[in-house]
A and B are shown apart, each in its own frame.
Chain A
């Protein structure tokens, strides 16, 4: 590898950056103005590639391709506007992040709809008419289309920049990004602005996806692949900064290209394959940037986002009725092993549900009362699971010891990552937790000798008498109840109050002597510890674990459970986790298109219960009581 080789790889990096830029710019705009974390943005990108494929192949020729790209972007923009108009507009007043739940449902629905419309096979589009060849640079061949992509991204950036600087719409967008309430005060039709921004953001996602049609086959995994990258770019660049998004896209693409260019290096008798780092490069960059610059490269500190939703009600100790209900549920659960003979699966599902409950309760602990929205809670679940499993694998540790190691491993991870995370707030904190989770995931994935790599650790089964699922069920029940009650106890204790104080008003909390960061850090650690218990129980319940245990999917599941149940109530995560786990289990058996069905049910629940299920039930009870 020589200098010209590196320069050439830098050009490759630039062309990869442009795809990332389009999708990230749209995401950034939408978040900046509406504060919605639109995790369905990757799905719009995927749709862009599919639609462009259809247009390019059905119409064909130069118009089918180039015209198709423009038409696609417009269609996806319209779809985005429709999503905002029909769905999101109804839930703007819901508690923070609740919209995330709706967009999560959209991912499921759009993916299944795409499968239904286009079928399962990868669809490789045609090469770009007029740009099929390559040009020679430094004796190497660079595809003309890559050159086009290198140019088009800065051009679009420039147009967006002008649009934001010169037009009334642009000024409104910038104003709303800086202070959302001000726009309402200016008498601007906020609804129109939000719809327009959603359309523009979706247009950019569609454009980005459509431009990829000549580079990669349309496939059903694109939505999730791209959304992760897009979030990283947005956060590294600074939320709401389009230029930042471009800069970040370039940096990340260049780091990856560099890793690939370096290839395998032998150092100190060890050989290190840098190309494997592309797995985690962007998350390492993100973690580094967020630690050094908490608001991203070009982001500005945002004023505290005052939630549009009402803050939660003061916590009341359980009423006699609730206590009675709790005892009844506990009694029913204790009696479940009696059913083991007639329907043994109930116990298996019960174990999964309770592990989910413990996982969700620990996430709720920091998300709700702590106000720290962790998007990477799976890290502590996975650390717990791996802590236990590796002890069994390498030291043949007994289950008791392994189950003790699980929370300790998770606690250590939470102490380390939490220390950095609590220095940030809002969506930046969320993204840093996600980055840490991805780094843990990559470490586990890559450190094959220790962790078994992508295959994970197998053969982690509970010894007798726990090998009997009734006995293991009782163990899980016991630990879950202890865990949930302990979290509840802590929330009612001074520490829990201090955590909420720090969330409600950090300034006031500091002014009465509370070290908010320290309290939140310890809260993070407690949540990690309890989550680790769940992870350890999971490992023994399944007999094997793999890096999926730490994957983004599990972190999102956790968010969905907490939000579905109701983030502002203490029983919310319990109900949310139970409903989600049972729904998923049930629906997966019902239909081939189970994802779409799950998405639709979540959408229905979102519409019916904007405060989550428990929040909704409480509201209903309250209304009935006042009505009667």
Chain B
């Protein structure tokens, strides 16, 4: 069964076609990585799916709704969770309050003016924090956390609305290699438990090849390859675009190759 279906998505910035007729699908429970060299259109594509950008044309079907042109908060309400490339939490709140905020929003209680927020959904928030291994830090100010921990808190927030799809923009950016694998392993375990589909972009190829169920590759705004790790690794077009510029790939596949002009 298909969870997310992207059809002929396109976006241009002042004549430059950042994303050009991209179509792909994410199946229920699938862990799908979107990769591509810098400037391939990953971020543009991703930001159209999460509502940050409005597509010029094309459709983004999630379950029975077309997400194209919806605001991020509307997409979230439909059951899509999201994490950011640069982790963003609410710095003036404690860790548990961050998650409570997401739970409060999910419950539609954002505009309540009376009962203190800190007393709402605390148990559920602690449960989510436990799942990401951050329960001990629950009452610390979130601005004091190490970056890796912020990412975990963000994950807990993204899971607060019981999403059926999780969008993760470079979930491991800015983390040490060991932390990366731990985080992705955690994500993988949680989504499998909860039956969540995941679409993520990633720079770190070892993470992608180690964990993704399937990989799609964008280059110059177009989708050039789609398949499992092995297919992608050996895909001629992928090798062509990556070895022109890529560095990350080279570490996985250390064969030296001549750069293209």
A residues bordering B, Cβ < 8 Å?
310-315, 317, 489-490, 492-498, 500-501, 503-505, 507-515, 519, 522
Contact = CB atoms under 8 A, between A and B. Distances in A.
Contacts of B102: 512-513
Contacts of A507: 52, 72, 84, 88
Given A314-B141, A494-B104, A505-B90, A514 B118 contact: no
**B: interface residue count bin:** 35 or more
B104 A510 contact: no
Contacts of A500: 90, 92-93
Contacts of B114: 489, 493
A522 B115 CA distance: 18
15 contacts: A312-B92, A494-B117, A497-B93, A497-B117, A500-B93, A501-B93, A507-B84, A509-B90, A511-B73, A512-B157, A512-B161, A513-B161, A514-B73, A514-B101, A522-B111
A510 B72 contact: yes
Contacts, number: 115
Q: Is the interface of A mostly helix, strand, loop or mixed?
A: helix
A519 B154 CA distance: 22
Q: Which 5 A-B pairs have the closest CB atoms?
A: A311-B91, A508-B88, A504-B90, A505-B88, A497-B117
A146 B116 CA distance: 63
B162 to A, nearest CB: 13
Contacts of A514: 73, 101, 105, 110
A513 B106 contact: yes
Nearest to B104: A494
B112 interface: yes
B120 interface: yes
Given A513-B161, A522-B111, A492 B117 contact: yes
B84 A314 contact: no
A513 B97 contact: no
B34 interface: no
A310 B92 CA distance: 10
A179 to B, nearest CB: 15
A490 B106 CA distance: 19
B101 A489 contact: no
Interface string B140-163: 010100000000001001001100
B109 A310 contact: no
A312 B143 CA distance: 9
A42 B153 CA distance: 47
Contacts of B101: 494, 497-498, 501, 512, 514
Contacts of A519: 110-111
Nearest to A497: B117
Given A510-B71, A511-B76, 15 more contacts: A311-B91, A313-B141, A314-B94, A315-B92, A492-B116, A493-B116, A494-B120, A495-B113, A498-B104, A498-B105, A498-B111, A508-B90, A511-B82, A514-B105, A514-B110
Interface in B39-65: 50, 52
B77 interface: yes
A214 B76 CA distance: 63
Contacts of B143: 310-311
